Amino acid sequence: MSGRPADTVIAAPSASVYAVKPPDFTGVTPKLCVRIGDVVEAGACIFYDKKTPSVQFVSPVAGTVKEIVRGAKRRILAVEIDASENNVYKDFGVLDVAKSDKNTILSRILEGGMFPYLRQRPFDVVANPEDAPRSIHVSGFDSSPLAASTSVALEGRMSDFQNGIDALAKLAGERGVHLGVKYSDSTLAGIRNCEITEFEGPHPSGNVGIQIHHTAPLSKGEVVWTIGYQDVANLGAMLSSGKYIPTKVVAVGGSECATPQHVKTLAGASVSSIVNVPDTASNGDSVRVISGSPLTGDQISKNDYIGAFHSAIALLAEGSEPKFIITEGWLGLGLKRFSLNHSFPTWLMPKSKEWDLDTNMGGEERAFVVTGEYEKVFPMDIYPQHLIKSIIVNDIDSMEKLGIYEVAPEDFALCEYGCTSKIPVQKLVREGLDNLRNELG
């Protein structure tokens, strides 16, 4: 995709408002511990998980609780915080990881607000601190379009990253910490206390689920934890400094971004503090703002906030403007259109060519038939189309036999992109995981 971020980093201006959004943390039932008008420190608890009260969600900055945004049935959508001019941090105390045991480290991670960034397979939800994970997996790179560069995001933070890995090694089970790195990239080559595996190839090689499948496949009854590489560095920094500072290097790009680059900010920052969103696209269409990868991210407004697990913001044309049927429609030659298959002659062009892609679906939802397109972009020893069908009919036995415990919605992103039937595959996988989790209690 065009609009790749340059290997430069600028510091974003401090946002006036930050937000912690409960819907970002799948599997959590939030219970508020603040009210509108309360003054909070950076690292102070904002809400906790009703089912697991030890899992706390903390404020990224010091300030005043501005608003508690609610949706249908009074569901909490966001807790907005007006940032103060002077950031006052809650001090958790410095912890020497090498001299600390598992329980001490776990307690500090829970208290310091870093535990919600640990997710578990199966179900791809926030991890349960009472579980004993078989292993912990970290993907050291993001292979999705317009993603942040590992070397840029971790520049000057290798000691924090190593400290985070050392802490995770104390929490991991008998199979330890697994770190997936990009082939021929030496950024993380010197990291110790973990098993390093190199991965080569296009997306989804950077997905942690793909890496788990090819190194230590998940069996029924087993639990593994996963965490992003920037969150590992933040974890290490929190333990060594005693302060919760959720630094995030965000890759800002896309065809409608004037200056694609990396921007350093804090988790929960407002989009307007990170990127200037144009009013209209270059083709006269409207502009869609995506928090996260164009394949898996969430559509947000320019007044919204970046997602907790997102390290990218993409600006793309909506593609809602009608196209003339003969020149750019389905009767045209398609000389300007990208396609996964050989529908257009552009498949003969070099793979290095960049494309200005919009968000148009290119058709309506159709009958869900077997086409073989999913298998071309799904590098797991699983029958993806059969698994989706079993999810649609909520056949629990078939879902288990077809490997649902190993997958997460992001693993099906390319399947959804290339789906001939225009089925919302990622949404179906999420619903299937939720239904199975509820069935198992």
Quickly state the pLDDT bin for 351 (edges 50, 70, 90).
confident
Query: Residue 176 pLDDT > 90, yes or no?
Result: yes
Question: How much is the pTM?
Answer: 0.95
Establish if 394 belongs to a structural domain: yes
**Are residues 236 and 96 part of one domain?**
yes
Domain boundary pick from 243, 273, 291 = 243
Question: Is residue 49 a part of any domain in this protein?
Answer: no
Domain shared by 378 and 239, yes or no: no
Query: Is residue 421 domain-resident?
Result: yes
What range defines the domain where residue 121 resides?
91-243
Last residue of one domain, picked from the residues 243, 275, 306? 243
Domain endpoint, select from 182, 216, 243 = 243
Averaged pLDDT for residues 361-373: 86
Q: Does some domain include residue 285?
A: no
* CATH number where 119 lies: 3.40.50
Q: Which of 275, 276, 228, 227 is nearest to 250 (CA)?
A: 275
The predicted structure's pLDDT at residue 344: 79
Q: ∠ CA 299-117-154 to the nearest 5 degrees?
A: 85
Domains contained in the chain, number: 2
Q: How confident is the model at residue 348 (pLDDT cuts 50, 70, 90)?
A: confident
Residue 54 lies in a domain: no
Confidence at 345, pLDDT banded by 50, 70, 90: confident
Is 365 within the bounds of a domain? no
The answer to whether the beta carbons of residues 92 and 242 sit under 8 Å apart is yes
Mean pLDDT, residues 398-414: 96
Q: For residue 190, is it within any domain?
A: yes
Q: How confident is the model at residue 282 (pLDDT cuts 50, 70, 90)?
A: confident
Residue 252: phi, psi to the nearest 5?
A: -105, 120
Residue 398 has pLDDT above 90, yes or no: yes
pLDDT, tens digit, 9 for 90 and up, residues 17-76: 999 999 999 999 999 999 999 999 999 999 999 999 999 999 999 999 999 999 999 999
Half-sphere CA count of 72, side-chain side, radius 13 A? 0
- Residue 234, in any domain of the structure: yes
